[in-house]
Amino acid sequence: MVSYAISTRTLATTEKMEAARNSIVAAVGITLLKLFAGITTGSLGMLSDALHSGLDLTGATLTYFSVRMSSKPADDDHTYGHGKFENMSAFAETLIMAVTAVWIIAEAAKRIFWTPLELRHSLWPVLVLIASMSVDFWRSRRLMAVAKKHNSAALRADALHFASDIWASMAVLVGLLATWVGGQWHLKWLDFADPMAAMCVSVMILRISWQMARETLSVLLDSAPAETRKSMLDKVAAIHGVLAVEQARIRRAGSSYFADLTIALPRGLSFQRSEQLVEEATSAVHSLLPDADVVIHTVPRETKAESIFDRVRAIALRADVSVHDLSVQSTSGHLQVEQHLELPENMLLRDAHDFVCHLESEILKGIPEIDAVLTHIESLPATIEDSEDMIEERERIEQLLQQSAARLPEILDVHAVSITRLGQHLSVSCHCTLPDDLPMSKVHEVITELEDHFKLQAPEVYRVLIHPEPVTDNIR
């Protein structure tokens, strides 16, 4: 997958650089032709168009080097990569275009109001302009196709620039023809057609420069399209299990997008479920921005649907422990929680007591409805020991277990009995078959009664673990 991504990125860079190189070659030829035609005829419109093409050459050269730089992978100094070289190139090109447009307007005003210049008419500029428009049409379409394919800001700027050249050349051509008509029919007011055409070109350059500058500045300042961000928020928030999107940021560098999100998840979720939701959220972002680099941070949050039991377990998990046999009793309107908590067997009583007191304090503070907490501390084995050979004792204990189970009509079968010794303690585990439609509250009652009676019959047993199973599970 990684090698495929690298090869795809390399192919994209090669295609973009090839388009930029072709643009440079075309710009050199067109600029020289227009400059020659402008000098030989004295046409300001032609000279302005030549300068415009010179800007194309400058922009195409900037584009080539920016594409080359932006393709470099991220490093220690540029952790987001070098993609913004493309945006900086596009911004530099807009500045050059704007300065040149202002100079052309000033020169045109000078020729109109102060020092008119008589043109030397020739067919040569007309042919140059027609050739220029044909070349500009071809390269603008080619550059725009590659820019859209690889989402390249620099190539898009070049494509827009060259598309404007077609209309600029058309304005210059109209100006030259109007001046020629004025000379033939002695219409003096048409002498101003050429500088007016130059002004039209300049206004067009300024308009495109402003449009490109706004788009480029928006990328350089890390602004993102509002509709894209809203769509991303809607898609991620709609995922079942995501409580809210608390923060969402999008930034763009060249043709690459980066999305950072913070999503709120129920605090009782497992790590595995949280990871699944993060993957779903990442896929939702990629449905809008296919090649985006997505980073998602999760924060646990309390939900309105949480019961007191859920809230107690959440506080215990925050302390990196789990509770079992959790119960809540209501006496005269006061709630008391009873819970069983396993702590390492090698922990000192003082440390265990301090830990439990802190946990109980956190529960009382986090759940104001609770008036008291009673914790039963149990020992969690820190080592695994081999059970000893005790055949006769096993048979006796299992017989007592079966007798205790026979007292309860709900218990259909007791099987998979395992008896082990851990240190000085005996531990018994078994599977217990019960009816499929028995409610869990009744299952717990039956299992507890079996455990209590069995421990009375076999007081030497320290721990009893009973796993309830439905009848249909045993049939399969």
* Number of CB atoms found within 10 A of residue 165's CB: 28
pLDDT value of residue 41? 65
Q: Is the pLDDT of residue 143 over 90?
A: no
Tens-digit pLDDT profile for residues 169-197: 666 666 666 666 655 666 655 556 666 76
Give the per-residue pLDDT at 8.
46
CA quadruple 420, 423, 424, 428: dihedral, nearest 10: -20
- Kind and range of the H or E element at 221? none
pLDDT value, residue 301: 87
Look at residues 312, 324, 328 and name the one whose alpha carbon lies nearest to residue 267: 312
Mean pLDDT of the chain: 76
pLDDT 10s digits, 326-361: 888 888 888 898 988 888 878 888 888 899 899 999
- Token pair of 327, please? 């119960």
For the chain, give percent helix, strand, coil, nearest 5: 60, 20, 20
Task: Please give the C-alpha separations between residue 76 and each of 73, 81, 293, in angstroms, as whole numbers.
Answer: 10, 9, 17
The confidence band for 259, taking pLDDT boundaries of 50, 70 and 90, is confident
Find the angle CA(454)-CA(456)-CA(459) to the nearest 5 degrees: 95
280 or 304, higher pLDDT: 280
Are 265 and 242 spatial neighbours (Cβ–Cβ below 8 Å)? yes
With a CB cutoff of 8 Å and minimum separation 6, the contacts of 370 are 308, 328, 335, 336, 337, 363, 364
User: Given this model, what pLDDT does residue 406 score?
Assistant: 93
Measured over the CA atoms of residue 171, residue 175, residue 176 and residue 181, the dihedral's sign is positive
Q: Which residues contact 287 (CB under 8 A, 6 or more apart)?
A: 235
Domains in the chain (CATH in brackets) are 2-220 (1.20.1510.10), 226-301 (3.30.70.1350), 308-380 (3.30.70.1350), 391-475 (3.30.70.1350)
Q: Nearest-CA neighbor of 238 among 287, 302, 304, 291? A: 287
436 phi and psi angles, rounded to 5 deg: -60, -40
Q: Is the separation of the CB atoms in 262 and 237 below 8 Å? A: no
Q: Is the pLDDT of residue 264 over 50?
A: yes
Q: Which helix (H) or strand (E) holds 89?
A: helix 84-113
Percent of the chain past pLDDT 70, that is, above it, reads 64
CA of residue 430 relative to chain centroid, distance: 48
